[in-house]
Structure 1
Amino acid sequence: MTALFPPGISWEPAAPLSSYCPEPGNLAGVRHIILVLSGKGGVGKSTISTELALALRHAGKKVGILDVDLCGPSIPRMLRAQGRAVHQCDSGWVPVFVDQEQSISLMSVGFLLESPDEAVVWRGPKKNALIKQFVSDVAWGQLDYLVVDTPPGTSDEHMAAVEALRPYSPLGALVVTTPQAVSVGDVRRELTFCRKTGLQVVGVVENMSGFVCPHCAECTNVFSRGGGEALARLAGVPFLGSVPLDPELTRSLEEGRDFIRDFPKSPAFPALSSIAQKVLSGAPARLS
């Protein structure tokens, strides 16, 4: 494999890990690929990607996360996997396994940075080349779901990801918005992107949908409410649910904890569990 990394990103292949290498074929063993998209930043794509992966894992599925948000790789921290090494085997790069059971695997440019403060200062072609290399050279083995966390927007990196993943159908998009009209307007353009690129929309998630007071359980609609559901209805795509602002969810992400396991009484827990169940029950039929 050809290294693509400029100064500031280091990758030294380790000795072949034959006993740990997944079966050959890279994405050939992945049943369902879901891209987590939004037309804007700050709506919580990485949060939804992480919690969806954890919920699917607790449902007994084997899950991979491909973090192609090259300039903001936050998922390694959210899963307490910072500083882990990426190794090489005969089939390519071995993703980082988050748990001892190896039920969640993760690949991110965050593992290739010399320090957490390094910035990825690349032009589009270099970013696109790394995304394509992540798709072709990471040996995922057998997975039920591969969740792809994408950067904001609808431009080069998204096209590179869609085109690189297109041969490995089934393929679909989960679109994340916040409730307010400014966010919904940007996310509407993301739905247009999905339509133009032939991506089937698994559904829309409305994140940061109200704040539930941890003391009195009253819900305050900080960013309005219902914009995501209205958008899904107008676009004719499924609405998967609303996730409230939740201090316990924030805490779990900051500490790299398993929110689905550790905070079952949190206000966000039923919403995230319901979204995962809808993906499990509906996505296989739509994406098969």
Structure 2
Amino acid sequence: MERFEVALNTPAGRLTTAIDVPTGFIPITAIVPVTRRLGEEAAELEVQQAVEAGRTVSCRKGCAACCRMLVPLSAPEAFALSEYVEQLPPDRRTLLLNHLSDTKDRLIREGLWDRLNDVAETSRPVADEELDPINQSYYALRIPCPYLENELCSIYEARPAACRELLVTSPAELCQDLVHNPIVPLPVSMRISSILGLVWGTLTSAPPRLIPLPMALEWAEQHEEEARRTWPGSSLLDQVLDKMWRFLSQEFQKRSNEADG
């Protein structure tokens, strides 16, 4: 292992931490936990800033209102989730796969599965204008996340970055309708799924992919050859940090413009 001291200036404060990265060649999945950790530490700075300003984060264990939204994953996250599910005890894995199968059947009946698959497999960037109708159609169905059990996340330690980043300071009851109610989300300094997607796009010379969570395991299985590729650990970390710095630069500019406006 090689230890790196990382320092990032975020809109909510300075993040400093030590990161251990394997010195040899590693698959992209090996850098996912470290990248998520940096995202969570940045999110914690946002929480601290909100608390200091007198706001309260409403999200609590057992509140799964946001678990009816369509969650996008980057390719590295899809591969990492597949690895995580593969090492689960057989009974838990079977239960999850049954939930995923039921969700797929429902989405096929509703005419959404093929549209989601097109998003996952497209070889070009997908514009928000294309995604919004799909997101709205999915949310209108209020389908519980297939990884949800008794309103609790069954893959909590491996959940996607997008799930980790969605925190609100508006009253929890407003989350029962995330489209029409005045939800106040906590600002996100850097979106880890987007960063991992950009890293993967650079490594594979392809546009960043968005893989809908209900089909992530299926997609990962179909692309398992890509998941076997390896790169030097320090090189992957450099790629991650480069994309983070770019993302943070854009976020600083965005918040500056909002403050001026």
TM-score by length of structure 1 reads 0.27
Pick the structure with more strand per residue: 1
Pick the structure with more helix per residue: 2
Give the structure, 1 or 2, with the largest relative contact order (CA under 8 Å, sep 6 or more): 2
